[in-house]
A = this chain, B = another copy of it.
Amino acid sequence: MGLEMGDTHRSKPRSRRGGVRRDPAAATISRVADAAGVSRATVSRVMNGSTTVAPELAARVRAAAEALNYEPSLLARSLALGRTSTVSLIVPDLANPMFQDILRGLSTAAGAHGHRLMVAESNENAEAEQILAVEARRRSDGLVLASSRIPEPQLRALHERLAPLVLLNREIPGTAVPSLSVDYHAGIRAIVAHLLGYGHRRLVYLAGPPASTSNTDRLVTLRAEAAGSPGFHLTELDCGSTFETGHAAARAVLATGATAVVAFNDMVAFGALSGLHELGVSVPGQLSITGFDDIPFARYTTPPLTTASIPKNELGRQAWERLWALMSGAPPGYDARFQPRLLVRDTTGPVRA
């Protein structure tokens, strides 16, 4: 049975009046309906697998769609359905492998539920992040903010516009916004205990971006530990979150006279390691270094990096679960705070006698 170019149900002649200049050859549902000699409703039913269409009619519609290379407009579909089947993730720095693992976990979980992930990067810029967040949210059904740098007051003012919203490594106290985080306090305590155990008493902290709340967490704990242990001396050095900043800090680190370096994260630790190596400093002989996150290459540095591992993939996966619950009206799970696991590798050792 061939295609009948039936006239019966032709939609009213398109006068192209209020229209927009647009590809006139583009296949739309109306064109397919005309070609198959059925109504738009029937085409829609066939395309969506409704069973209430006679097999022979359905075949004709499918043939027409095929012949015209028809693909339903996702835009129109989303508008009609009121959902895009898309969720967004915003991260401060895509270059940080930590966020990539989160991204993968989220993307995979979302994909398994038929949702696509859109990713945007704020480049550590809180202003840009706010704009991005609002816009990304408007184009999708839900939003995940990872390590948001948006200051608390703005975030608090914004969170209703962003819902359904899930936060990673961030929370808004007093609201119901689901939050998944890492216990940086515990991680830092483990690192400090490890270093103290090796006899280190003079530590230097390479601080991350000031807008990072997880940086604040680390700092608070370090100061508390320093205050609580007699003989423990802590120096703080403003650094950043990248190789470059870590590398650039090497000389300043040496100047502090510290015997161990607690870096904001693995990238900074790696940069510092490289910088110190260039200065002829042996690690861990002269100086111990720790990172944080356990990004993939941490175990391949020379020497392999002692760091605190966090469940990045799991953060992404559970972020999806919370978001999905929110979107489908179910109660989201309880907030979770993951405990980092100290991985002792070879950048830490006994303090030099």
**A residues within 8 Å of B by Cβ?**
20-22, 69, 71, 73-76, 78-82, 84, 86, 94-95, 97, 100, 103-104, 107, 116-121, 134-135, 138-139, 161, 242-244, 247, 270-271, 273-275, 277, 296-297, 300-302, 304
Q: How many copies does the complex hold?
A: 2
Distance from A129 Cβ to chain B, minimum over Cβ atoms (Å): 14
Minimum CB–CB distance for A345 against chain B, Å = 12
On whether the beta carbons of B74 and A79 are closer than 8 Å, the reply is no
**Interface residues of A: mostly helix, strand, loop or mixed?**
helix
**Ordered nearest first, which 7 A-B pairs have the shortest CB separation?**
A274-B300, A119-B119, A20-B82, A302-B302, A75-B79, A22-B82, A74-B138
Give complex CA distance A217, B11 in Å: 53
Q: Is the CB of A274 within 8 A of B302?
A: yes
Asked if A135 and B116 sit within 8 Å, CB to CB, the answer is: yes
Name the distance in Å between A294's Cβ and chain B's nearest Cβ.
13
User: Please, which residue of chain B has its CB at the minimum distance from the CB of A304?
Assistant: B274
Neighbouring B residues of A247 by C-beta, 8 Å: 300
Asked whether, in the complex, the Cβ of B297 is within 8 Å of the Cβ of A243, the reply is: yes
| A301 CA / B273 CA spacing, docked (Å) | 9
Is there an interface contact between A107 and B121, defined as CB atoms closer than 8 Å?
yes
Say whether A270 contacts B297, CB under 8 Å. yes
**Chain B residues positioned under 8 Å from A103 (CB to CB):** 94, 121
